């Protein structure tokens, strides 16, 4: 019975990896709630990896020219795309670690020149970030009990420790993901500006050559 539970959660993770389907975060939390930590990570990992691969391959086969044109028309977005294509697995792992919508980034990356192998490896290396959500989900039952528990005044000190634990479990994922998003944003912004300056120098050099002709 537990095996089929894994299969069902994996299927939900697979489906939620396809844009514009929503519910990926809820599926991750639910897996932690049902299977606990860290076992709840397994169905989400395999379902997400297969779903991401499916979207990537489908996006490549469809040749989404309208998305590519939209990217090309935006200098900063185009420069960011070039960074993803040229920086290899390390930068792509960093990008996938950031808390951007998982299914949207699957489709976005399919429009780049990143190879399927690089995409697959980077996605597999970045998915362990979901362990924190699995842990939060695994604590959901105790959180629900504590929220509904009415403590007496004589039990205030007795319950202060569990309440602190609840607050930590709730706040830590938000702080962690927000901090990660800020770090990735600052780093990528710096790299994009650097790439734009590099491109401007190339354009100026080409213009000088044309002027001399």
In order, the DSSP letters of 177-210 are HHHHHHHHHHHHHHHHHHHHHHHHHHHHHHHHHH
Phi and psi angles of residue 170, each rounded to the nearest 5 degrees, phi first: -75, -45
pLDDT at 167: 63
Q: What is the pLDDT of residue 154?
A: 44
Q: What secondary structure, in 3-state letters, does 13-52 show? A: HHHHCCCCCCCHHHHHHHHHHHHCCCCCHHHHHHHHHHHH
Q: Taking the model in full, what pTM does it have?
A: 0.76
Regions of the chain where pLDDT drops below 70: 1, 141-170, 173-174, 199-200, 202-213
DSSP code string of 143-159? HHHHHT----GGGHHHH
């Amino acid at each position: 019975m537990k095996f089929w539970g894994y299969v069902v959660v994996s299927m939900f993770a697979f489906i939620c990896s396809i844009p514009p389907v929503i519910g990926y975060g809820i599926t991750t939390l639910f897996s932690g709630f049902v299977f606990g930590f860290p076992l709840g990570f397994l169905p989400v990992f395999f379902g997400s990896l297969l779903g991401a691969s499916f979207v990537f391959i489908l996006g490549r086969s469809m040749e989404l020219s309208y998305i590519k044109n939209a990217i090309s028309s935006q200098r900063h977005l185009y420069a960011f795309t070039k960074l993803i294509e040229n920086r290899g697995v390390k930068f792509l792992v960093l990008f996938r670690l950031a808390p951007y919508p998982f299914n949207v980034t699957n489709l976005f990356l399919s429009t780049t020149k990143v190879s399927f192998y690089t995409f697959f490896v980077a996605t597999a290396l970045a998915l362990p970030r979901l362990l924190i959500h699995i842990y939060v989900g695994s604590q959901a039952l105790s959180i629900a009990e504590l929220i509904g528990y009415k403590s007496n005044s004589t039990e205030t000190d007795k319950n202060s420790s569990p309440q602190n634990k609840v607050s930590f479990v709730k706040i830590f994922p938000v702080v962690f993901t927000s901090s990660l998003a800020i770090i990735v944003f600052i780093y990528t912004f710096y790299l994009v500006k650097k790439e734009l300056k590099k491109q401007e120098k190339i354009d100026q050099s080409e213009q000088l050559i044309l002027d001399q002709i």
